[in-house]
């Protein structure tokens, strides 16, 4: 937008005779200036609304080190360079010489809101380096504020300072009303824009008030007022009025400040044992500038801290530096590089005496009942307890930065997390209903943009060494048995989790007609649950089989395995995959020998129509249905079905269960093994490792075969 203002100004189109008088006559400039200043005040107010003072509680020592080092080294280098230039070249023009110290200090500071907005736009705000850059930039912002304020005050004449003090002293005895923060800003010699900023900070970020203000004011501010502000600045900026020598002098000081910020951020990050690549990224981010810096330059010009030519050079430099940093960051940033060396985890690969770690994602309270009932059926034991990392996902509205709020089960944080209370309470009851630590819950609320929300989920799965991520289907079932579309951001988030998850992902589709009670029942009181696994073949189906096998170990669950077999030999069949499927089924049948609650069936089908017929015939017989997402498209079993699930997170088989003509009330679990396992051949010798050894031995359970 600032570039557009420059184009309309005297630098380009404004130099054409009569253009400015025709497009922007003088009376309209007065109105334009008023609207621009008003819009910029609203912009400052919204920045304050989005800022969360509680972030100071989460700042670590290394963040303080990086933040202070960044500004300190930049100030030292730029001021040293300034004094050297002034000492060696007495011929420097007086207006440039008087402006260089202020240029040095203002170029050495950075603003936390701009860094937060910039990282959000680049979808890097949830990364490790993004979190550290945010915290460090906040410290740099506060430290730089302490530096830039004396620089502005030093340029004011005595009468202004005395008048400011008179305003401050006379205001002590007056009753101060809320919303009159502009007096406080003037009292310390700052611009009136700082009043709305402080007032905005006093308003709690996030829902209900902060989010409502953002929804009401953000669109008109970003679409109308801020473009007017940029146009207004561009109309009075003549790039070609700067003398080459003056440009080089000012630009050299700015360059020293940029080098100082980059070096200070990078070296202090390396000192705090941050990887080199991340340290370079932090150093680059510390040089980002935006509309706040432009406003600061404008205020310094109005206060005569800098003159016209240095102001123009600083605006040009701001555009060049930010435009250079963006492609460099995109090139260096790799959100998954930290985890490529870690072992991918699945249910199949679990050892019989290891705990099952699950990351559970919840958007609304409606997602809770089906997930709790599913987890209760995963057979937690003393040898293999279940650890749940509960993440209540909330879209970032009204905050300047993402927030991850940990909760205690008996005490949910009241700050910004009131909507999470009922969700956490339901999982608290789940934990309490399973004694002896069979189920433990660690609840969090993650407030983040949908574009980067998957990073929170995947990062938590890495940290917790989870074997399973459970996420709700993005569409909700209405009273008319139709799946209504919901937030597009939720679907995109699900797709990103499926692509980047370090472990198995299961999408849960709740088709219950009404919201069930979220109060879990104990194993003894829970009614019998009928579970079916439809097995076509492939890594996802083998993982679904492993989940079904674990559930079958619970005394109140009956498991039916329905294997669909083509009646003709498949052309170009993957022999290794077929052998893996056979080994998985045979191993499971051996492990489940003697378990009368497990039934194995084979259905011979000709094509995709037969597959649909088998699934539809059994759809209403079970409370829980488990299927895999991906299948071999060359198989006759998928003939005519491959296009159904194209672009869907459920796949072609999973999509059958969300059709409008389905009257079943069952819960569907669509399983995808992590991507590493989708591209390699799996050996299934350990398929039974997740099954409790308490199953009594005996002959394999009977085979039922039919042809469709």
CA distances (Å), origin 25, targets 29, 52, 224: 6, 42, 20
**pLDDT of 240 strictly over 60:** yes
Give 446-458 pLDDT, tens digit per residue. 888 888 888 889 8
CATH number of the domain at 621, please: 3.40.50.620
Mean pLDDT for 455-464 is: 88
Say if residue 314 is in the same domain as residue 356: no
Say if residue 502 is in the same domain as residue 395: yes
Say if residue 546 is in the same domain as residue 499: no
Say if residue 300 is in the same domain as residue 411: no
Q: What is the pLDDT of residue 59?
A: 78
Q: What are phi and psi of 158, to 5 degrees?
A: -65, -40
Mean pLDDT for 575-588 is: 86
Give 424-444 pLDDT, tens digit per residue. 888 988 998 887 789 999 999
Q: What is the pLDDT of residue 434?
A: 84
Say if residue 431 is in the same domain as residue 444: yes
Q: What are phi and psi of 670, to 5 degrees?
A: -100, 120
Q: Which of 503, 526, 549 is the last residue of a domain?
A: 526
Give 83-93 pLDDT, tens digit per residue. 999 999 888 88
Q: What is the pLDDT of residue 506?
A: 95
Of the given ranges (13-17, 55-59, 666-670, 701-705), which has the lowest mean pLDDT? 701-705
Say if residue 279 is in the same domain as residue 324: yes
Pairing of strands 598-605, 504-510: unpaired
What is the four-CA torsion angle of 154, 158, 160, 164, rounded to 10 degrees? 90
Mean pLDDT for 227-231 is: 81
CA distances (Å), origin 245, targets 89, 96, 179: 12, 10, 46
Residue 161 lies in a domain: no
**pLDDT of 662 strictly over 90:** no
Decide if 108 contacts 150 (C-beta within 8 A): no
Residue 171 lies in a domain: no
Residue 596 lies in a domain: yes
Q: What is the pLDDT of residue 285?
A: 93
- Counted domains in the chain: 3
Which of 240, 296, 446, 469 has the alpha carbon at shortest distance from 363? 446
Q: Which of 461, 496, 526 is the last residue of a domain?
A: 526
Percent pLDDT > 90 in the chain is 23
Q: Which of 274, 306, 332 is the last residue of a domain?
A: 332
* Range(s) of the domain holding residue 100: 2-33+61-155+225-332
Decide if 483 contacts 668 (C-beta within 8 A): no
Q: What is the pLDDT of residue 179?
A: 46
Question: Whole-angstrom Cα distance, residue 435 to residue 441?
Answer: 13
Structure-token pair, residue 298: 């404008």
Residue 40 lies in a domain: no
Say if residue 557 is in the same domain as residue 659: yes
**pLDDT of 361 strictly over 90:** yes
Q: What is the pLDDT of residue 343?
A: 63
Q: What is the pLDDT of residue 1?
A: 52
Residue 242 lies in a domain: yes
Q: What are phi and psi of 161, to 5 degrees?
A: -70, -40
Residue 46 lies in a domain: no
Structure-token pair, residue 648: 């869907």
DSSP string, 35-56: HHHHHHHHHHHHHHHH--GGGG
Which of 153, 138, 147 has the alpha carbon at shortest distance from 72? 147
Question: Whole-angstrom Cα distance, residue 118 to residue 138?
Answer: 14
Q: Which residues pair with 603 in a beta bridge?
A: 564, 706
Say if residue 701 is in the same domain as residue 659: yes
Say if residue 456 is in the same domain as residue 542: no
Residue 281 lies in a domain: yes
Say if residue 668 is in the same domain as residue 591: yes
Question: Whole-angstrom Cα distance, residue 160 to residue 149?
Answer: 15
**pLDDT of 686 strictly over 60:** no
What is the four-CA torsion angle of 632, 634, 636, 639, rounded to 10 degrees? 90
Say if residue 13 is in the same domain as residue 107: yes
Question: Whole-angstrom Cα distance, residue 292 to residue 299?
Answer: 11
Structure-token pair, residue 92: 């420097």
- Looking at per-residue pLDDT, the higher value among 478 and 607 belongs to 607
Say if residue 565 is in the same domain as residue 497: no
CA distances (Å), origin 87, targets 80, 81, 92: 11, 10, 10
Give 516-552 pLDDT, tens digit per residue. 444 555 544 555 789 999 999 889 999 999 999 999 9
Give 551-563 pLDDT, tens digit per residue. 998 888 999 999 9
End-to-end distance of the chain based on CA atoms, in angstroms? 64
């Amino acid at each position: 937008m600032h570039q557009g203002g420059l184009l309309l100004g005297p630098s380009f189109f404004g130099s054409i005779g009569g253009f400015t008088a025709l497009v922007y006559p003088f009376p309209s400039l007065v109105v334009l200036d008023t609207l621009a200043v008003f819009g910029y005040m609203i912009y400052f107010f919204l920045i304050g609304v989005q800022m969360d003072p509680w972030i100071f509680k989460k700042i670590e020592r290394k963040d303080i080190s990086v933040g202070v080092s960044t500004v300190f080294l930049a100030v030292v280098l730029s001021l040293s360079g300034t004094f050297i230039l002034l000492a060696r070249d007495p011929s420097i023009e007086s207006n440039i010489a008087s402006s260089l110290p202020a240029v040095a200090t203002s170029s050495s500071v950075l603003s936390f809101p701009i860094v937060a907005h910039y990282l959000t736009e680049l979808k890097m705000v949830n990364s490790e380096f993004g979190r550290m850059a945010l915290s460090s930039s906040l410290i740099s912002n506060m430290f730089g504020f302490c530096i830039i304020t004396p620089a502005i005050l030093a340029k004011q004449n005595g009468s202004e300072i005395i008048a400011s003090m008179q305003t401050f002293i006379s205001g002590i005895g007056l009753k101060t009303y809320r919303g009159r923060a502009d007096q406080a800003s003037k009292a310390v010699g700052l611009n009136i824009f700082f009043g709305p900023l402080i007032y905005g900070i006093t308003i709690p970020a996030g829902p209900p008030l902060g989010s409502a203000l953002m929804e009401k004011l953000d669109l008109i501010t970003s679409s109308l007022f801020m473009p007017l502000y940029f146009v207004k600045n561009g109309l009075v900026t003549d790039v070609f009025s700067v003398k080459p020598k003056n440009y080089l002098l000012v630009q050299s000081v700015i360059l020293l400040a940029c080098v100082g910020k980059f070096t200070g951020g990078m070296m202090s990050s390396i000192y705090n044992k941050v990887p080199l690549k991340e340290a370079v990224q932090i150093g680059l981010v510390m040089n980002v500038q935006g509309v706040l810096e432009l406003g600061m330059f404008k205020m310094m010009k109005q206060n005569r801290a800098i003159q016209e030519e240095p102001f123009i050079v600083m605006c040009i430099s701001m555009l060049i530096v930010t435009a250079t940093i963006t492609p460099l960051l995109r090139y260096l940033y790799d959100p998954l590089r930290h985890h490529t060396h870690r072992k991918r985890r699945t249910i199949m690969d679990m050892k019989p005496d290891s705990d099952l770690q699950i990351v559970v994602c919840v958007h609304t309270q409606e997602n809770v009942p089906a997930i709790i009932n599913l987890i209760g059926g995963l057979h937690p034991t003393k040898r293999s307890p279940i650890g749940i990392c509960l993440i209540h996902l909330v879209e970032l509205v009204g905050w300047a930065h993402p927030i991850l709020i940990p909760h205690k089960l008996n005490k949910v944080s009241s700050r910004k997390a009131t909507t999470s209370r009922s969700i956490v309470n339901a999982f608290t009851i789940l934990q309490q209903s399973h004694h002896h630590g069979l189920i433990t819950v660690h609840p969090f609320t993650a407030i983040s943009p949908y574009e980067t929300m998957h990073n929170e989920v995947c990062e938590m799965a890495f940290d917790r060494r989870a074997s399973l991520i459970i996420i709700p289907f993005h569409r909700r079932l209405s009273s008319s048995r139709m799946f209504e579309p919901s937030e597009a951001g939720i679907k995109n988030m699900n797709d990103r989790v499926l692509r980047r998850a370090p472990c198995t992902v299961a999408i849960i589709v709740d088709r219950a007609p009404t919201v069930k009670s979220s109060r879990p029942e104990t194993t003894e009181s829970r009614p019998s649950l009928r579970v079916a696994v439809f097995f076509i073949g492939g890594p996802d189906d083998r993982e679904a089989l492993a989940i079904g096998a674990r559930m079958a170990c619970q005394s109140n669950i009956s498991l039916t395995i329905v294997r669909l077999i083509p009646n003709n030999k498949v052309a170009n069949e993957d022999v290794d995959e077929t052998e893996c499927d056979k080994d998985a089924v045979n191993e499971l049948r051996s492990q489940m020998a003697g378990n009368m609650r497990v039934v194995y069936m084979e259905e011979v089908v000709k094509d995709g129509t037969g597959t649909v017929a088998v699934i539809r015939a059994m759809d209403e017989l079970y409370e829980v249905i488990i299927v895999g997402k991906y299948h071999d498209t060359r198989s006759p079993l998928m003939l005519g079905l491959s296009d159904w699930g194209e672009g869907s997170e459920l796949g072609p088989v999973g999509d059958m269960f969300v059709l409008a003509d389905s009257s079943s009330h069952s819960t569907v679990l669509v399983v995808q093994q992590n991507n590493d396992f989708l591209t390699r051949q799996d050996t299934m010798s350990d398929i039974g490792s997740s099954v409790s050894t308490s199953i009594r031995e005996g002959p394999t359970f009977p085979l039922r075969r039919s042809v469709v």
